[in-house]
Amino acid sequence: MEPVYMDNNATTRVDLEVVDVMLPYFSEQFGNPSSIHSFGDKVGRAVKQARKQVQQLIGAERDSEIIFTSCGTESDSTAILSALKTLPERKEIITTVVEHPAILTLCEHLEKEGYKVHYLEVDKKGRLDLDAYQSLLSDQVAIVSVMWANNETGVLFPVEKMAEMAHAAGVLFHTDAVQAVGKLPINLKDSKIDMLSLSGHKLHAPKGIGVLYLRRGVRYRPLLRGGHQERGRRAGTENSASIVALGKAAEQALAHMEYENTFVAAMRDRLEAGILDAVPNCFVNGDPGSRLPNTSNIAFEFIEGEAILMLLNKQGIAASSGSACTSGSLEPSHVMRAMDIPYTAAHGSIRFSLSRYNTMDEIERVIEAVPPIVAQLRKLSPYWGEDGPVDEPEKAFAPTYA
Ligand code: PLP
């Protein structure tokens, strides 16, 4: 049987048309886009077209606001470090407890360097408290960095509103939109967002290509200094094949946007309903009213997520627990802990993340595969008795985190 891939928030398959358009840039179109001869010129024009394609996908006002980088992580670091360098008198940052490690690990490092980082908490559904946010905005804050969509739960944050609030307080606003771009319509022209990060491999382009959107007029310091590529804002010879690929993937994402928000969402909803119907003691993590169309994070109480994944994998079904970057650790993810999901459920939380390549047949296959796997694992679980959870399962074993 064909394998079923439902781990698209970790990475996506490169679209075959995208592969086709990028291949010539490894062979006949190998010129350096900065060269003035015809070899360079052709590639330079292709890079320009890709910049416009990305501009259109995110609704930026100008193509010059698009800076190509190597990945989402580089874009995130560049945004935050640029703000700190351009505003040296401001020593505070506002972010959230549920950001990706691309932001959190940098913030921990900056704390060691003397910056004060405010981490906004989330409620049980993964939502932010905007009053708490408002109370932290001040002229001491150099930048706010808040993700558009959470990679584990798909929960959306109201970043456009939060950017307005930041601007009203004279504070720069960055969003890590790595999971949102390509899945949601985005129109930066009409927003107050100053900087945005995106990553090619989450939208059917290759790994190793990203973008930092930098609103015109926002003061900026590059992370990489050297040649004049990207108007001196990101030195290093352009990864032209991947840039062209990202341009094509952006064009396709725009063309498939409606499908993503209708059919992919319908597949996700069917998957959730089918599983919740057939399996006792399971629930959806995150705010179902405000989520990415492709993501479902389901907590299966009293069993281990890693065990579910292994048994699914045996049947050719790929999903994930937590983010790819934290798997390998036995602790529940920081996102589940922040949402205060009981440890007996956080440990058994699985993320299914779909794409336009999934089919309803695959959804039905997963709906059939999951219930017997859960039943099999519950037979081995110390928290599960003959016909349901043991009394006071919280006390059956000590929690592994406080
Ligand atoms: N931010 C978010 C929300 C992500 O999900 C990821 C990747 O999983 C990243 C940043 C990092 O992107 P990249 O892998 O391109 O560095």
Beta-sheet pairing, 295-300 with 66-69: unpaired
> 330-353 as b/e, with b when 16 or more CB fall inside 10 Å?
eebbbbbbbbebebbbbbbbbbbb
Per-residue pLDDT at 320 = 96
Per-residue pLDDT at 322 = 65
Assess whether the C-beta atom of 72 lies below 6 angstroms from ligand 1: yes
Q: Which residue out of 12, 73, 99, 155 has the highest number of ligand 1 atoms within 8 Å of its CB and is therefore the one to mutate?
A: 73
Which tens digit of pLDDT belongs to each residue from 5-40? 999 999 999 999 999 999 999 999 999 999 999 999
Assess whether the C-beta atom of 174 lies below 6 angstroms from ligand 1: no
Which tens digit of pLDDT belongs to each residue from 141-176? 999 999 999 999 999 999 999 999 999 999 999 999
Which tens digit of pLDDT belongs to each residue from 250-282? 999 999 999 999 999 999 999 999 999 999 999
Q: Which residue out of 183, 202, 239 has the highest number of ligand 1 atoms within 8 Å of its CB and is therefore the one to mutate?
A: 202
List, as one string, the DSSP characters of 149-166.
B-TTT-BBP-HHHHHHHH
Q: Quick one: which atom of ligand 1 is closest to the CA of 147?
A: 3
Q: Mean of the pLDDT values across residues 45-64?
A: 98
Per-residue pLDDT at 1 = 84
Kindly report which listed range (34-38, 69-73, 175-179) carries the lowest average pLDDT score: 34-38
Per-residue pLDDT at 219 = 97
Assess whether the C-beta atom of 106 lies below 6 angstroms from ligand 1: no
Q: Mean of the pLDDT values across residues 101-123?
A: 98
Give the residue whose CA is nearest to atom 9 of ligand 1.
72
Assess whether the C-beta atom of 200 lies below 6 angstroms from ligand 1: no
pLDDT band at 324 (very low <50, low <70, confident <90, very high): very low
Kindly state the tokens that stand for 242: 């991947």
- Which one has a higher pLDDT value, 324 or 62? 62
- Which one has a higher pLDDT value, 243 or 343? 243
- Cα–Cα separations (whole angstroms), residue 141 to 51, 95, 287, 384, 397: 31, 11, 29, 49, 43
| CB-CB neighbours of 319 under 10 Å | 23
Cα(199) to ligand 1 centroid in Å equals: 7
Per-residue pLDDT at 386 = 84
Q: Which helix (H) or strand (E) holds 299?
A: strand 295-300
φ, ψ dihedrals at 300, nearest 5°: -105, 110
For residues 235 and 242, the answer to whether their CB atoms sit within 8 Å is no
Which tens digit of pLDDT belongs to each residue from 297-312? 999 999 999 999 999 9
Per-residue pLDDT at 402 = 40
Kindly state the tokens that stand for 292: 């990415």
For residues 307 and 370, the answer to whether their CB atoms sit within 8 Å is no
pTM of the shown model: 0.95
Interatomic CA distance for residues 346 and 290, integer angstroms:
20
Interatomic CA distance for residues 34 and 53, integer angstroms:
20
Beta strands (DSSP E) in 107-204 are: 116-120, 141-145, 172-176, 195-199
Q: Quick one: which atom of ligand 1 is closest to the CA of 207?
A: 15
Q: Quick one: which atom of ligand 1 is closest to the CA of 70?
A: 15
Interatomic CA distance for residues 39 and 61, integer angstroms:
30
Per-residue pLDDT at 69 = 98
Per-residue pLDDT at 391 = 77
With 60 as the cut, is the pLDDT of residue 325 above it? no
- Grouping H, G, I as helix, E, B as strand and the rest as coil, residue 130 is helix
Assess whether the C-beta atom of 178 lies below 6 angstroms from ligand 1: yes
What does the mean pLDDT of the chain come to?
95
142 DSSP 8-state letter: E
Interatomic CA distance for residues 349 and 326, integer angstroms:
13
Per-residue pLDDT at 394 = 60
For residues 145 and 76, the answer to whether their CB atoms sit within 8 Å is yes
Q: Mean of the pLDDT values across residues 206-235?
A: 97
For residues 92 and 84, the answer to whether their CB atoms sit within 8 Å is no
For residues 141 and 165, the answer to whether their CB atoms sit within 8 Å is no
Residue 107 designated active-site: no
| Closest to 325 measured CA to CA, from 226, 199, 217 | 199
Per-residue pLDDT at 392 = 66
Cα(59) to ligand 1 centroid in Å equals: 21
Residue owning tokens 């010059």: 64
